[in-house]
Amino acid sequence: MSNPVKLNIVKSLRKLIDTPLMAMKLPNVDPDLISVLSVLLVVVAIMHHSNLWWVFGWVMASLIFDWMDGVIARKHNRATKRGYIVDVYCDRLSEGILFTVFFVPWFYLFILNMILTVIGFKTKVHFNLALRLIFLVVLVLQLAGLNWGFIIP
């Protein structure tokens, strides 16, 4: 699986955000290590699980690193199948670690995302829920006062 097919809307969104980033000077580091760092940031986030502001900060940092690994890989022509596997695996590990702590309902969405990952590998069409991003949006709403009970540390 060398070039996973992404949905057009994902491709358009990526192009919109990546274009200014690609024009910047980005360090030529191993993108796989950036992917791994995003998981480490989630581990730090769960260690601060009782303070939702800290969780927000660390998970946001994790998402930024998760985004940057692909940008750096494309910028420096280091995009490979191995890098894709590492990126996807690190995404699932981050979600698993985060949503084991914030169990309901996120853990069940994580299971769904795992199944979508396997289907994506089999059908070569990459489709996953941006669970950490959705979690961050709900977290921000909760911190702003709209507490629907979706994020319970």
Tell me the Ramachandran region of residue 5: left when phi exceeds 0, alpha when psi lies from -120 to 50, beta otherwise: beta
Q: Report whether 115 contacts 95 (CB < 8 A).
A: no
Question: Judged by CB under 8 A, which of 121, 138, 141, 150 binds other proteins?
Answer: 121
Based on CB atoms, which residue is closest to other proteins, 121 or 150?
Answer: 121
- Any contact of residue 38 with other proteins (CB under 8 A)? no
* Dist CA 44 CA 55 (whole Å): 8
Question: Judged by CB under 8 A, which of 52, 60, 97, 133 binds other proteins?
Answer: 97
Question: Judged by CB under 8 A, which of 31, 34, 38, 39 binds other proteins?
Answer: 39
Binding letters toward other proteins, positions 129-148, x by CB under 8 A: --------------------
- Any contact of residue 111 with other proteins (CB under 8 A)? yes
- Any contact of residue 33 with other proteins (CB under 8 A)? yes
3-state secondary structure string across 37-70: HHHHHHHHHHHCCCCHHHHHHHHHHHHHHHHHHH
Q: Which distant-in-sequence residues (6+ apart) come within 8 Å of 46 by Cβ?
A: 55, 97, 98, 101
- Any contact of residue 46 with other proteins (CB under 8 A)? yes
- Any contact of residue 115 with other proteins (CB under 8 A)? yes
Instruction: Quote the strand ranges of 10-144, DSSP E.
Output: 125-126
* Dist CA 7 CA 17 (whole Å): 16
> Which residues contact other proteins by CB under 8 A?
1, 32-33, 36, 39, 43, 46-47, 49, 81-82, 85-86, 88-89, 92-93, 96-97, 100-101, 103-104, 107-108, 110-111, 114-115, 117-118, 121-122
